[in-house]
Structure 1
Amino acid sequence: MSDTADTTVPVTVLTGYLGAGKTTLLNRILSEEHGKKYAVVINEFGELGVDNDLVIDADEEVFEMNNGCICCTVRGDLVRILGNLMKRRQKFDGIIVETTGLADPAPVAQTFYMDEDVKRATHLDAIVTLVDAKNLAARLADSKEAASQIAFADIVVLNKMDLVTEEEAAEVERRIRAINPYAEIRRATKSEVPIEAVMGREAFKLDRILEREPEFLSGEDNHSHNEDIMSLSFEVSEPLDENKFNAWIGELLQSKGQDLLRTKGVLNFKGQEDRFAFQAVHMIADGDYIGPWPEGSARKSKIVFIGRDLNRPRLRRGFESCVAA
């Protein structure tokens, strides 16, 4: 397995519907003495409402805060902003990209796989979605974007807990789990979560998740849905043919990629001793061998799809067709 996580800059994509608390969290990161230095990339600096005396080195696009963090505005291309940040590589520990004004975090996430310069210098650490516990039900009813943001999440910060009862909170968590059973949920009030709970988590890397939670992908053919977004998982006991799988998943992502929000899998390929971790955001896929199977564990291949209008029998047949002869 590659050591990219040790040599490249970790990037956290921060998303969430209007009013969920992203600005509050970003203000904390830019102003608190948390001992880390982050570059925060946002759409409009003025939205943050950061006091002028917090800014110690302002130029047109990059603002250095007096706690060492860097704040950038996206007036143009995200790739160009990231390139400018790399010139200051020694000044920060990680990058946060906020998706204000972008309903879907996927285009931001895909940037870290599609641009070769960005891919060499950075790696996606986690997609963090802030959710308004009081108003989530209303947002799910009137906005497809709210559900999509949850579907993409590795970590969900369930914010404004002071405005709901325990029963209401449990129902909100149930709604989140119906959309994305695999995201970590962390409750918060006024976006008060430890910085280390959302930064430096390596949550986008499936192998790191499996280290913490070996049963992360367990449960054959789970089928949950929230209106038009559902999650399906399948498993097969026989080893897979790597070429068959690559051909099938490649065609599937090309033809159905817009509906497939997140895809994750741990696969047992014939002739290989190590596990293969696979994941995709829409059509952009990534995978790597992540070391041996845990001692005593069954070498079952498991795959999870989170998306819209998924055909369970067709996906099951396609996955099973990859079994090695």
Structure 2
Amino acid sequence: MNNQDKTPVTVLTGYLGAGKTTLLNRILSEDHGKRYAVIVNEFGDVGIDNDLVVDADEEVFEMNNGCICCTVRGDLIRIIEGLMKRRNHFDAILIETTGLADPAPVAQTFFVDEDVQSKTKLDAIVTVVDAKHLLDEIGKAHEAQEQLAFADIILLNKVDLVSEDDLSKVEKRIRRINPTATIHRTERCQIPFTEILGRNAFDLDRVLEIEPEFLEHFHDHDHDDHVTSFSLTSDAPLDPTLFLPWIQFIAQEYGPDMLRMKGIIAFDRDDDRFVVQAVHMLLEGDHQRPWNPDERRTTRLVFIGRDLPRDRFEDGFRKCIAQDRAIAG
């Protein structure tokens, strides 16, 4: 099954009170012609307002607006497999995580289970944040930082409660954690759904086709945050026999603390760009497309994680440079 035939899955995450349930309820109640299956990750927190739930005793049920809702009572894989038996009843799947949840296990599901991977695709991780309280939350709750770190799309919500100067500070702080996510400013999560659904934003190949310089436009920061980001670059090509074992080692050794990793690799004597990304210890990579004749063949890797030893990463990365090219350069 190719990607176009797979059912897209959007993960909605965000810290307590940020507004993700408001966003979910808008998606479920507005007339947009789409039908969604909804999986709610509940830990004493139902997640969907009671007036939207028709029959809480049923794991899967039809809603008044044509959506289907199911409540997570067991394994996410089992529920997705059950949903796929009814795939003609809906167009896409939404997963809402609890406000204290790490989105990683949800994202990893789409890497590790072959059946789920063959029938669905992770479209985007959408994180809703409270513009008024985010800076305080980041300082107290590592979950708030990790939810930002995993995001492909960020809704900076409740912007009507914050001054422009404060909004700029919040956005700068977000960029210190996640330099690559798309940020939208919203009030009460009002945003065209085309900006957050069906974006294929988790697919790095697709993102790079639309925005080739996606991984370039940010600066490193030195600070004491729980979650940080940094980049490694090289204008000299890398040796694939050195780089591939090294990046696999990095994923295995530092995977628990490496939240996201994305990169474009220029290999020695290889005319195709190689794209790699990881969620924790789960790593995937493949050739994407030929380098354009006028395109600068620069390797760019972005790491987002908890207290990653940047100096070790830099040392190992430099050792992957093709030696004859490095000397020639």
TM-score of the pair, normalised by structure 1: 0.93
* Corresponding letter in the other structure for 1:172: V
Q: State whether structure 2 residue 209 is matched by structure 1 residue 211.
A: yes
Post-superposition, which runs of at least 4 consecutive aligned residues in structure 1 deviate over 4 A?
none
Aligned partner (choices 152, 164, 187) of residue 162 of structure 2: 164
Helix, strand or coil for the counterpart of 1:296? coil
Deviation at 1:175, TM superposition (A): 1.0
Structure-2 change in CA distance of 1:282 and 1:116 (3 Å): same
Aligned residues of 2:108 and 2:279 also touching (Cα < 8 A)? yes
Structure 1 pair 35/220, CA: closer, same or farther in 2 (3 Å)? closer
Instruction: Please report how far the alpha carbon of residue 169 of structure 1 lies from its aligned counterpart in structure 2 after TM superposition.
Output: 1.2
Q: How does 1:152-231 map to 2 (within 5 A)?
A: 152-218=150-216, 222-225=220-223, 227-231=225-229
* Gap change, CA 1:223 and 1:164, over 3 Å in 2: closer
Pair 1:239–1:184, CA change in 2 (3 A) = same
Q: Compared with structure 1, are the counterparts of its residues 225 and 277 closer, same or farther at alpha carbon in structure 2 (3 Å cutoff)?
A: farther
Identity %: 56
Q: Give the superposition deviation at 1:204.
A: 0.9
Deviation of 1:46 (Å): 4.6
What RMSD in Å do the two structures reach over aligned CA positions? Answer: 2.0
Paired position in structure 2 for 1:97: 95
> Match for residue 51 of structure 2?
51
Report the equivalent of 1:283.
281
CA contact (8 A) 1:240 1:322 kept: yes
The runs of 5 or more residues in structure 1 that have no matched partner are: none
SS at match of 2:124: strand
1:304 counterpart (297, 302, 319): 302
Which residue does 1:39 correspond to in 2?
37
Give the SS at the match of 2:275.
Answer: strand
| Counterpart position of 2:14 | 16
Secondary structure of 1:269 counterpart? coil
1:16–1:149 Cα contact (<8 Å) kept:
yes
CA distance in 2, matches of 1:128, 1:37: 19
Structure 2 Cα separation of the partners of residues 34 and 154 of structure 1? 23
Q: Distance in 2 between matches of 1:62 and 1:130?
A: 26
Contact 2:39 2:72 in 1 (8 A): yes
Output one character per residue of 1:162-201: Cα deviation in whole Å (capped at 9) or x when no partner. 2111111111111111111111100111111111111111
Contact 2:177 2:228 in 1 (8 A): yes
Distance 2:192 2:72 in 1: 26
Q: Do the aligned partners of 2:61 and 2:70 also contact (CA within 8 Å) in 1?
A: yes
Q: 2:47·2:96 contact (CA, 8 Å) conserved in 1? A: no
Cα 1:226–1:212 shift into 2, 3 Å? farther
Distance 2:210 2:182 in 1: 12
Quote the residue 1:82 is aligned against.
80
Structure 2 unaligned blocks of 5 or more: 324-329
Whole-angstrom CA distance in 1 between matches of 2:217 and 2:12: 29
Count of residue pairs brought into register by the alignment: 321
Paired residues of 1:175 and 1:226 also in contact (CA < 8 A): no
